[in-house]
């Protein structure tokens, strides 16, 4: 048994070395997975032979005869789709997301744009950096609804976009301020078309992803993130069957209600929490509440994202909860101070 164990370890090491070589070759040559077979043809024959030998030996070494009885008591690892923007050009983004660095990050996919001077390919292609079955490091400290650490349950898409944000306020003088200055750039049409195609393919594989769980990075980490920003066309994606958007009839209904009775800050906090935004219910329009409102506005009211609660923002929020979160609105224990039904 000891000899067999050592043999297995050696085989697994050889397989690991082979996998690393394939991935290194692919990334360094900017080769997408759909060209994988052609890449394999370029590999030295000794590695191809080694891989075949590994498979044969592992089959022969297995002492177990498995009986497959698929259980109905299971679900997909993937329940969320998170949209990011890189805040850098293509080559810098690819390097950051695929090579070792002091603060390692990654994503499942990277989508460039053709006008990027650092993107030299003739065709615009999706770069797959991490297999969907594996956990990419893209969400960081995050929460959506009751789900924390969204890396464990999500697919991350990074879109190349050279936006910039910086703090311009004095937190010591005004601790409740979110004085954040951002320069957001647009998304080219062909890049958006590629992202649309990618997400449609992902949703074919994971149809259980709910529309409200296709989120911005800023939605799940509003205190520290602003991407993909106000120029990302969420309504257009909704029109293609991707993500959530409010109905104008519900919006008008909620707007009329608000003119008769304006909610308290606590009620708006409750509504944000019910939809999924992570924040404490303090009853004050404090810094964390402003960030949550700003993130909501970046997604659903991008013409004005000051973080200030206003009629239009609140009506959109209540309309969305009516459309997508009605069971939580009806369940008063989910947020007993909410009054947006």
SS3 180: strand
Paired sense of beta strands 164-167 and 154-159, if any: unpaired
- Helix, strand, or coil here: 155? strand
Q: Are 339 and 263 in contact (CB under 8 A)?
A: yes
Which three-class secondary structure state does DSSP give residue 57? helix
- The span from the CA of 219 to the CA of 214, in Å, is 10
Phi, psi of 164 (to 5 degrees): -140, 140
User: Residue 212 CB: number of other CB atoms within 10 A?
Assistant: 19
Token pair listed for 60? 């022969």
- List % helix, strand, coil for the chain (3-state, nearest 5): 45, 10, 45
d(CA 31, CA 218): 30
Structure tokens at 309: 């609660």
Q: Give the residue among 83, 146, 139 at the shortest CA–CA distance from 273.
A: 146
**Active site positions, annotated:** 158
DSSP letter at 145 equals T
Crossing angle, helix 287-300 and helix 311-324, to 10 degrees?
A: 70
Cβ atoms 179, 207 nearer than 8 A: no
């Amino acid at each position: 048994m000891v000899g067999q164990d050592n043999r297995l370890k050696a085989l697994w090491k050889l397989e690991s070395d082979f996998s690393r070589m394939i991935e290194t070759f692919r990334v360094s040559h900017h080769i997408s997975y759909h060209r994988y077979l052609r890449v394999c043809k370029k590999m030295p024959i000794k590695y191809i032979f080694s891989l075949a030998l590994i498979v044969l030996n592992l089959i022969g070494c297995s002492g177990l005869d498995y009986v497959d009885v698929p259980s109905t008591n299971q679900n997909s690892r993937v329940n969320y789709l998170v949209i990011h923007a890189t805040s850098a050009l293509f080559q810098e983004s690819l390097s950051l997301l695929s090579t070792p660095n002091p603060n390692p990050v990654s994503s499942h996919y990277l989508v460039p744009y053709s006008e990027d001077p650092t993107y030299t390919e003739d065709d615009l292609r999706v770069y797959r950096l991490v297999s969907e079955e594996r956990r990419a490091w893209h969400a960081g400290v995050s929460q959506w609804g009751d789900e924390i650490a969204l890396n464990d349950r999500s697919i991350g898409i990074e879109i190349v976009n050279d936006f910039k944000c910086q703090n311009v306020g004095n937190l010591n003088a005004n601790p409740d301020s979110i004085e954040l200055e951002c320069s957001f750039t647009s998304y080219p049409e062909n890049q958006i078309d590629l992202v649309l195609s990618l997400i449609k393919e992902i949703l074919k594989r994971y149809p259980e992803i709910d529309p409200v769980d296709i989120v911005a990075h800023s939605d799940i980490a509003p205190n520290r993130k602003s991407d993909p920003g106000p120029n990302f066309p969420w309504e257009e994606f909704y029109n293609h069957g991707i993500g959530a958007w409010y109905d104008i009839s519900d919006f008008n209904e909620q707007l009329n209600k608000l003119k008769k009775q304006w909610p308290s800050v606590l009620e708006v906090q409750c509504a944000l929490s019910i939809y999924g935004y992570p924040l404490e219910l303090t009853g004050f329009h404090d810094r964390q509440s402003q960030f949550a409102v700003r993130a909501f506005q970046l997604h659903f009211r991008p013409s004005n994202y000051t973080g200030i609660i206003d009629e239009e923002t609140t009506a959109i929020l209540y309309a969305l909860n009516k459309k997508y979160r009605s069971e939580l609105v009806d369940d008063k224990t989910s947020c007993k101070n909410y009054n947006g039904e």
